[in-house]
Amino acid sequence: MSNEEIRNGADAAAEEETRESRNFIEQEIDKDLAEGVYTTVHTRFPPEPNGYLHIGHAKSILLNYGLAQEYGGKFNLRYDDTNPTKEDTEFVESIREDVTWLGADYEDRIFFASDYFQEMYEVAVKLIKKGKAYVSELTAEQMREYRGTLTEPGRNDPNRDRPVEENLDLFERMKNGEFADGERTLRARIDMSSGNINMRDPIIYRVAHMTHHNTGDKWCIYPMYDFAHPIEDAIEGITHSICTLEFEDHRPLYDWVVREAEYPHPPRQIEFAKMFLTNVVTGKRYIKKLVLDGIVDGWDDPRLVSISGLRRRGFTPESIRKFVDLCGVSKSNSSVDYAMLEYCIRDDLKIGCKRMLAVLDPIKLIIDNYPEDQVEYLDADNNLENPELGKRKIPFGRELWIERNDFMEVPPRKYYRLFPGNEVRLMYGYFVRCTGFDKDEDGNITAVHATYDPETKSGSGFTGRKVKGTIHWVYAGQAVPVEARLYENIIDEEKGVYNADGSLNLNPHSLTVCRAWAEPALQDVKPFERFQFVRNGYFCVDYKDSREGAPVFNRIVGLKSSFKLPKK
């Protein structure tokens, strides 16, 4: 074999490896560009403004934006607001905020499908004139009867062969408000015997006398999604309409609309699998019920996987982008463990967060041999893994707060924290030995007593003896009261998401509120600041309920996890 043949073989192998490393959407786009079908890439994220976005939407946002970035193209944000019954300006604003927060830059390209109502109407008139659409008088129930089944063809609508001029007149009268809701519809004239039920003369316009959030009362007829969506894409010059798998059976109708509307550069629809998380609630109607029933305190409750809920809890855009990247792009539906999302936020925060002292379930520790009026300031590393974050001074004195579970009167085996006679290290401080404890009249432990060894101060180089346990603490004399909220899954994971009647299996312990004590530096903090509370997890300052000098901290995630990245 010649050197040239060897080189050609190596180049071919490298090209094949590169091709296989690209997801199937990238491969399709590469093919379209190579064959001259398109000369650029233009994508969009088209949410309906009828609720808050959730983690599944993040995949679509970042996928569409990422493709535009990869190919040097453009990315649009478009509100698919063709259904006035469910839409609200509150959702319009929340969606804009979520997309921006995730880092998907649509520049000045923010659009509303309702801005295209006139052109959609004109396309419908064009279809009527071509004999491709007709006005139907069938009720919804009759239409279901005529539609057929998966194994039986449908029957023609009695109005299917209505003359063009009559259809034009009726459609004009629909627009002018002469018919009640549901009294007339406009149907595409395609094929009632098609094996794809979506192609059996689908409704493309219906009468709905409702005020629209954007167009007011200008229209009383509204286009159906399957008709409107391809037109919106074509108007905006979208090249690749990336959507989820449930629209795969709708693709023939998408192609039919742009073809019959005679757009010169029709967009192409490509479907990918949704991202499902195990044991979480993403359905808008379920979340809406949780909000209305007062079980959560809004669409941004930190127990929800809405994007605003994740942001409020303390997740970062970087962690969500990493999560979406790890999930990948596929044509097969699968579920992802929520623990992988937690892994991503831990990985993002572990280097950049200061590690602070806060006691969530406090009990008093009294060091009886420490001078009563003395306060000293100890050196503490802000993050041992990131020296650039520097050090700080923390106060230390005779009375401290420690975690209640860091003391046991009668400990089990291999318990290395405080118990009578045992010695532990106070983080950044001294060795202390437990000498006793106080109880109230009900037998509850109210305080723990200890003595300290001045020679064992952290950083002094003391090597005389070792201890197995280290606990954290806060000096009671300067501790600040804070509220810490600990979250669990709002779903009872052992029972699954849904009850037999379709209601949610709610976890009664999804929120625990702690009246905690924290070191003084945690009093003056800003909303969305994130910290590691040593031994307790990562926390974020709640933007909604915190007040000046009285912060509320949401636990983002605990410190430990059994989750491991799957091997490649």
pLDDT of residue 150: 92
pLDDT of residue 13: 45
CA atoms 262, 267, 271, 275: torsion sign: negative
**Helix (H) / strand (E) containing 423:** strand 423-426
Q: How confident is the model at residue 561 (pLDDT cuts 50, 70, 90)?
A: confident
CB 85 within 8 A of CB 94: no
pLDDT of residue 122: 98
Whether 19 shows a pLDDT value over 60: the answer reads no
Instruction: Give mean pLDDT, residues 442-468.
Output: 95
CA–CA distance, 287 with 24 (Å, rounded to integer): 33
pLDDT of residue 226: 97
Domains contained in the chain, CATH given: 26-272 (3.40.50.620), 280-356+479-568 (2.40.240.10), 358-472 (2.40.240.10)
24's CB contacts (< 8 A; 6+ apart) are 329, 331
Mean pLDDT, all residues of the chain: 93
- Per-residue pLDDT tens for 391-413? 999 999 999 999 999 999 999 99
**Long-range contacts, stretch 416-421, CB < 8 angstroms, 24+ apart:** 416/467, 416/468, 416/469, 417/469, 417/471, 418/365, 418/448, 418/450, 418/469, 418/471
Q: Which range, of 18-27, 179-188, 195-204, averages the lowest pLDDT?
A: 18-27
pTM over 0.95: no
- Per-residue pLDDT tens for 417-428? 999 999 999 999
- Per-residue pLDDT tens for 348-378? 999 999 999 999 999 999 999 999 999 999 9
How many CB atoms neighbour CB 61 within 10 A?
26
- 381 vs 281, higher pLDDT: 381
Structure tokens at 128: 């009527």
How many CB atoms neighbour CB 395 within 10 A?
16
DSSP-derived secondary structure for 130-170? TTSEEEE---HHHHHHHH--SSS-----TTTT--HHHHHHH
In whole angstroms, what separates CA 183 from the centre of its chain? 40
CA–CA distance, 223 with 203 (Å, rounded to integer): 9
How many CB atoms neighbour CB 263 within 10 A?
17
Structure tokens at 351: 């280097």
